[in-house]
Homo-oligomer: A and B are copies of this chain.
Amino acid sequence: MSRNIVPDIVVGRLPIYLRMLDFLVQEGRQITSSQELGDRLGISSAQIRKDLSHFGEFGKQGTGYNVAYLRDQLKRILHMNQEWNMVLIGAGDLGHAIAHYQGFAAHGFHIVGVFDNDPAKVGKALGKYVVQGMEDLQGVIEADKAAMGIIAVPAAAARQVADLLIGYGVRALLNYAPITLTTPHHVKVQYIDPVALLQHMAYYLPNGAGA
């Protein structure tokens, strides 16, 4: 598949471009340029042109990009021209915040069930959801064709949860647990690890600052 020849780091920048184009559409803008996108995103215009060139010709030299057209093309490339169903595992503090987050549905990602293995949580309301036991997970994934799973359980349980989800056919995992998951090649994983990001930044700060 030609999809595989685009570097993953390029794919990872497309959502950033899409977000900026969404913003420009909301502002009523019709035309933009790689220069403007680059200035607003802190990325070089050459990088943006090179990234987009992997997917086709979206603008003409000297006239720039049609904002709405480029936005629609990026949505299509990222498979955002459809809705995606997700299951959420973990109904603790973090699971609560995730279940309440409005941004998912606004972008076509829908949490279709919240699951926990703690009997004290199962059956309780969580926002618009009722927490379900793990024994219901497979049925919900299959009935709602949930291709994505959000892991919001402690690190010690994350590997087991990931294996369950993969076994039930989930193809993409958003992992909030601070542990690296090894998965089959056909399963994608992305990590949300605030400590790792803070450590990444601390590298650049002068030692002795901020204590």
**Chain A interfacial positions (CB closer than 8 Å to B):** 3, 11-12, 14-16, 18-20, 23, 39-42, 77-86, 93-94, 96-98, 100-101, 103-104, 107, 109, 145-148, 150, 171-172, 174, 178-180, 182-183, 188, 190, 192-205, 207-211
Closest to A77 in B: B203
- Pairs A–B under 8 Å by Cβ, sample size 28: A11-B200, A12-B196, A14-B200, A14-B203, A18-B199, A19-B180, A40-B182, A41-B180, A78-B202, A80-B202, A82-B208, A84-B210, A85-B211, A97-B97, A98-B194, A101-B194, A103-B194, A104-B195, A104-B198, A107-B195, A145-B209, A147-B210, A148-B210, A171-B204, A171-B210, A174-B194, A190-B198, A192-B194
Q: Which of B20, B103, B197, B211 contacts A195 (CB 8 A)?
A: B103
Q: Check A201–B205 contact: CB distance below 8 A.
A: no
Q: Check B195–A190 contact: CB distance below 8 A.
A: no
Chain B residues positioned under 8 Å from A84 (CB to CB)? 198, 202, 205, 210-211
Known contacts being A19-B178, A174-B197, is A83 close to B188, with CB within 8 Å? no
Q: Check B147–A209 contact: CB distance below 8 A.
A: yes
Q: Which of A84, A86, A150, A211 has the most chain B CB atoms inside 10 A of its CB?
A: A211
Chain B residues positioned under 8 Å from A192 (CB to CB)? 192, 194, 197
Q: Check A79–B194 contact: CB distance below 8 A.
A: no
Closest to A85 in B: B210
Chain B residues positioned under 8 Å from A3 (CB to CB)? 203-204
Closest to A208 in B: B82
Q: Nearest chain B CB to A141's CB is how many angstroms away?
A: 10
Q: How far is the CA of A15 from the CA of B200 in the complex (A)?
A: 7
The 8 residue pairs across chains A and B that have the minimum distance between CB atoms:
A147-B210, A97-B97, A15-B196, A172-B201, A190-B197, A15-B199, A188-B201, A79-B202
